[in-house]
Amino acid sequence: MDVMRRGLILLMVFMILQRGKGQLFENFYSDKCPNLESIVKQEVSTKFSQTFVTIPATLRLFFHDCFVEGCDASVMIASPNGDAEKDAQDNLSLAGDGFDTVIKAKLAVEQQCPGVVSCADILALGARDVVVLAGGPSWEVELGRRDGLVSQASRVAGNLPEPEFNLVQLNTIFARNNLTQFDMIALSGAHTVGFSHCNRFANRLYSFSSSSAIDPTLDPNYAQQLMQACPQNVDPSIAINMDPVTPQTFDNVYYQNLVSGKGLFTSDQVLFTDSASEPTVNDFASNPGNFNGAFISAMRKLGRVGVKTGNEGEIRIDCTKFNS
């Protein structure tokens, strides 16, 4: 009896200790930095008024940060040796405006609340703010992340999805981050804004298979448009809109494009051509409310991936450098 009671007490203590671990809260900074959300929103809006790229760049930066070492701003670190996360091959195309947005927002936050708010949380807030600025849905962002102490280019390969991926490969890499196929399809809707360089999909235009140079799942007119914008051996710096219909609006037109054969990457188009994911694409294409709800839920889940809380990590002062 005595042994059982002792065991029970130990179990309860263990559960209480575990409870707060890895947990985020919407009101985490309400005492320590009450104006946080409006400061970040102001900086993001100012940056957006200078360039539209602020929107896709910040959204994609959040995704890449979360999938490598968790959402801990590890992607922000600039190493003098060129061996940090942002220096990896897969990160070569991260637009500088996303980094700049976080750096500027952090500077403004430090003026009012020095040493209190993590860069990881500022990036999570910025990702929400840019979706809203592009006409997408809004949501409450969970906060309390700490900034990571590891940022290595060698940790990137294999942790980010590739544009050539099929459904199983996409599901596998998202599942490792606690995200379902449904979440993955919703998050892919981020490709409703932003740009891609020609080399990320050129194989679908010029060297698809031995029987067909052009990917037969591409709408033929869209394929012609893409070949005009991206001739073979085009300047590698050329990038085109990923959503050819409403490129600057955060909406569900991305899914309507998939239905009409206008998915830019194999990883986009496969969501419609694979019968396991097609029903969800059809649903999001015709019900913007369903897409918005699924996107919000998936962004909140994405924001919990591998987070450091409590005394883990640090609150970085300069988002691009570890404190010591």
Ligand X SMILES: *[C@@H]1O[C@H](CO)[C@@H](O)[C@H](O)[C@H]1NC(C)=O
Which residues contribute to the site for ligand X (CB under 6 A)? 82, 86-87, 91-92, 94, 96, 177-178, 305-306
Q: Annotated catalytic, 64?
A: yes
Among 108, 113, 116, 195, binds ligand HEM (CB under 6 A): 195
Residue 258 makes contact with ligand HEM by CB under 6 A: no
Q: Is 303 in the site for ligand HEM (CB under 6 A)?
A: no
- 95 binds ligand HEM per the rule CB under 6 A: yes
Whichever of 95 and 226 has its CB closer to ligand HEM, that residue is: 95
Please report whether residue 70 would count as binding ligand HEM according to CB under 6 A: no
Task: Tell me: does residue 305 bind ligand HEM (CB under 6 A).
Answer: no
280 is known to lie in a ligand binding site: no
Dist CA 85 CA 120 (whole Å): 14
Question: Per rule CB under 6 A, is residue 135 in the interface with ligand HEM?
Answer: no
Long-range contacts of 110-113 (CB under 8 A, 24+ apart): 110/317, 112/33, 112/35, 112/39, 113/29, 113/32, 113/33, 113/35, 113/36
251 appears as a binding residue in the annotation = yes
Q: What is d(CA 111, CA 172) in angstroms, rounded to the nearest whole number?
A: 42
Toward ligand X, which CB reaches closer, 91 or 196?
A: 91
The token pair at 78 is 């600039």
CB of 320 to ligand HEM, least distance (A): 19
HSE-up (13 A, CA, CB side) for residue 180: 10
Which residue lies nearer to ligand X by CB, 81 or 311? 81
281 scored as a contact of ligand HEM (CB under 6 A): no
3-state helix, strand, coil in the chain (%, to 5): 50, 5, 45
| Closest listed residue to residue 91, CA positions, set 108, 74, 104 | 74
Is 192 annotated for ligand binding? yes
- Nearest 5°: the CA angle 68, 70, 71 is 115
- The enclosing H or E element of 223 equals helix 220-229
Specify the stretch interacting with ligand HEM by CB under 6 A; choose among 7-15, 69-77, 195-203, 217-225. 195-203
Contact criterion met (CB below 8 Å) for 298 and 183: yes
* Residue 116 and residue 33 in contact, taking contact as beta carbons nearer than 8 Å: yes
Told to check if 57 binds ligand HEM by CB under 6 A, we report yes
- Helix, strand, or coil here: 195? strand
| 165 sits near ligand HEM (criterion: CB under 6 A) | yes
Under the binding rule (CB under 6 A), the answer on residue 248 touching ligand HEM is no
C-beta closer to ligand X: residue 98 or 263:
98
Q: Which does 82 bind (CB under 5 to 8 A by kind): ligand HEM, ligand X, none?
A: ligand X
Residue 197 annotated as part of some ligand binding site: no
The single residue of 47, 60, 64, 301 carrying the catalytic annotation is: 64
> How would you classify residue 191: left for phi > 0, otherwise alpha for psi between -120 and 50, otherwise beta?
alpha
Size of the residue set binding ligand HEM (CB under 6 A): 27
Which residue from 321, 310, 204 is spatially nearest to 261, judged by alpha carbons? Answer: 204
Q: Point out the annotated binding site for heme b.
A: 191
Residues that bind ligand HEM (CB under 6 A): 53, 56-57, 59-60, 63, 93, 95, 161-163, 165, 170, 184, 187-188, 190-191, 193-197, 200, 239, 265, 267
- Positions annotated as catalytic residues are 64
